[in-house]
Structure 1
Amino acid sequence: MGKHGRNIGLKPTVNDVARVAGVSLATVDRVLNGRPGVRNVTIERVYDAIQELGYVRDTAAANLARGRVYNFQFLLPQSNNEFVTSLEHQIMGISKVLALERTKISYEKIPAFNPQALASILSRMDPENVDGVAIFGPETAAVKEAIDQIKKRGMSVIALVSDLPSSERDYFVGIDNLAAGRTAAQLMGHFLPNGQGKVLVITGSMLARDHLERRQGFDQVINESFGGVDVLSSLEGRDDPDLLEKLLPGVFAKHPDITGIYSSAAGNAGLINFLRKTSLDDKVMVVAHELTALSREALEHGSFNAIISQDTGHLVRSTIRVLRANVDNLPINLSQERIRIDVYLRENMPPLDEKI
């Protein structure tokens, strides 16, 4: 027997924790689940007992015993670009698997680059029905306030693809967008003849942090290493292929000597159509984002020279793992959740039978 009357060799239970801490089972449950209403001195006693006993919580068993069902929601921009469509497919696919693990996954489309609409949706979310939310949207004061309010009401919040660091969000799932922009600049600088030329940067919106960070990283490397490259002001395409295709002729009329394009956003269909209609697809060096069926074809046929990408399956799986860890007050495996920056050239594209 141990000094607190527990049989040595047996796994300690919540009953042991409650007895050693001198509190009720209900109090232990409140502490383990991070619920309010417990004094700090009592929380310390519970954690002291956990450490002394070596108690390890079996979260799956605890949730099963309580009949716990996780309910997570993704808020995605309303867009017809292939990257968002790929995220939707990944969410729908994994939702069927996770339904067997007492986890409900859904998504809702929000008007792209519309912070008021996003904030309104967040303010109406009920923590009684939704345990956690993943947000792919712009960072504004209204969105920050909405996130902070649902956090106070006990909901876990993940920023997806584009970070929201000014808010009380729990975690960011996505690539390092500053590093992605720096990578794009290195590629572009080496693709351009003699490391010189005029480059157009296409962005979705100046409200989008991921696009801003990519532009910032791009400018850093160009200024550091490629003094002969002239980078133009960003062209906002709103991730709308039709709008982008309409805007590009005016830009090229004003700057006919553009030799490179860094497309840091979506809307690649509009860019590809413009390049092919004007026979510029073999004259302008293009670095774009996200490997999809469309961008893969553009890379294969020479319209694009390189693609910087992130695995949408990893994004969705990581988001769900982090949300579950947050809800259960468990640690996050940082190395597992780090989203890798992939760089694809025509020579290293994955086989077609691999999921993009």
Structure 2
Amino acid sequence: MRPTVHDIAAAAGVSLATVDRVLNQRAGVRSVTRQRVEAVISEIGYVRDMAAANLAKGRLYPLVFILPASNNSFMHGLHAEARQAISRGGFERTEIRIIEVPAFDPAALVEVLDSLAGSDVAGVALVAVDAPEVQAAVDRLVRAKVPVVTLVSDLTGSARHHYAGIDNIAAGRTAARLLGRFLGGRRGEILVLAGSLLVRDHRERLEGFSAMMAEEFSGLTLLPVLEGRDDPEVVQGLIAKALATNAEVIGIYSIGAGNRGLLAALREQAAGRGLTVVVHELTDYTRQALQDGLIDVVLNQDAGHEVRSAIRVLKAKADGLALIAAQERIRLDIFLKDNLP
């Protein structure tokens, strides 16, 4: 059953009026009481029902999601979650428009961002390409009083208001620890596959992965990173060639989302090699690969949570309300064959 403000009040030992003041960042609450209420909010997983408040106010929020036109399953899922949000628009008082841009294309992203300045938009969510020109375009949009949220991949040097995504350095470190432990002290080479190091999430995962490998698993050697632009056909060719020419490869870490190509190459060439494989994003393809024993671990982020979080944040910014940090924290899930949902 979904927690309510009554549950918060009871657990924190305060009145409903106090809970309301904390949720709406109003004065009149002692610091220690505010901290206790916020701790309860985090502990019980309260999610504020902004839809009901917006229905009462009769306000409409025109929002724009800028998403990459990419032939990979995770991005297909992100698009699907954004379309689901469109279908909820009447209830949530949102009017969401999706604009597609070519993946890993800073110029195309800048063009769309600049076109939104001065338009009737209450907020923009985008999958960022970490380039100076994109940062500048985001900053221009923020100066034009348009709230901006980055999705999946951040743009930390920019003036964006919020990032809806996992801690990618921690994700990379987690991948390295799992891969190293699964290999059980074996020595050999590790293939690392990225989509593009133009995006911060892939760079940060690589940073965390490399650091953990150096700290804990010095017997494993990282080969030069392969960049497959999350394109299944490109990835399949890169992995097939790498496996054919590197006999000492005993593990693979797929940073990005080109897993269909990776799995195709593994099915063709991995038989009998005893590879340990860690990938990102639980899709129909990686789920089946886990069940088949073709890969060992999937690290997953909930695209639906990220889309919903972006919408909540953009609405809150449009209304001048503070965020509930625990509500917007995106979790990193670890899936093995044994705990698939």
Cα 1:228–1:131, aligned 2, differ >3 Å: closer, same or farther? same
> Identity of aligned pairs, percent?
43
Match of 1:191 in 2: 182
| Bigger shift: residues 95-104 or 286-295 | 95-104
Structure 1 residue aligned with 2:115: 124
| Kept in 1: contact 2:139–2:159 (CA 8 A) | yes
Contact 2:55 2:92 in 1 (8 A): no
Indicate the residue corresponding to 2:153 in structure 1: 162
| 2:288 paired residue number | 297
Q: 1:266 aligns with which of 257, 264, 267?
A: 257
Distance 1:61 1:191 in 2: 48
> Looking at both structures, which has the greater relative contact order when contacts are Cα pairs under 8 Å and sequence separation is at least 6?
2
- Name the aligned partner's letter for residue 86 of structure 2: S
Q: Is the 8 A contact 1:205 1:238 kept in 2?
A: yes
TM-score, normalised via structure 2 length = 0.83
Determine whether 1:93 maps to 2:84: yes
Aligned-partner Cα distance in 1 for 2:164–2:185: 37
CA contact (8 A) 1:77 1:137 kept: no
State how far apart, in whole Å, the 1-side matches of 2:105 and 2:230 are.
13
Deviates more, 1:324-333 or 1:62-71: 62-71
| Rounded Cα–Cα distance in structure 2 between residues aligned with 1:81 and 1:127 | 33
Q: Is the 8 A contact 1:281 1:304 kept in 2?
A: no
Aligned twin of 1:249 = 240
Name the structure 2 match of 1:218. Answer: 209
Residue in 1 that maps onto 2:74: 83
Q: Equivalents in 1 of 2:201, 2:327: separation in Å? A: 21
TM-score (norm 1): 0.79
CA distance in 1, matches of 2:52, 2:326: 26
Match of 1:313, as an amino acid?
G
Q: Which runs of 4+ in 1 moved over 4 A?
A: 59-67
| Correspondence for 1:343 | 334
Q: Distance in 2 between matches of 1:192 and 1:150?
A: 47
Does residue 68 of the first structure (1) align with residue 59 of the second (2)? Answer: yes
Letter of the 1:147 counterpart: V
Structure 2, unaligned stretches of length 5 or more? 1-16, 18-24, 29-49
Retained in 2: the 8 A contact 1:70–1:104? Answer: yes
**Cα gap change, 1:66 to 1:226, in 2 (>3 Å):** closer
> What does 1:196-215 align with in structure 2 at a 5 Å threshold?
196-215=187-206
Tell me the number of residue pairs that the alignment of Structure 1 and Structure 2 aligns.
299
Letter in structure 1 aligned against 2:191: L
Is residue 305 of structure 2 the alignment partner of residue 314 of structure 1? Answer: yes
Task: Return the letter of the residue paired with 1:88.
Answer: H
* Residues 100 and 61 of structure 1: CA distance in aligned 2, closer, same or farther (over 3 Å): closer
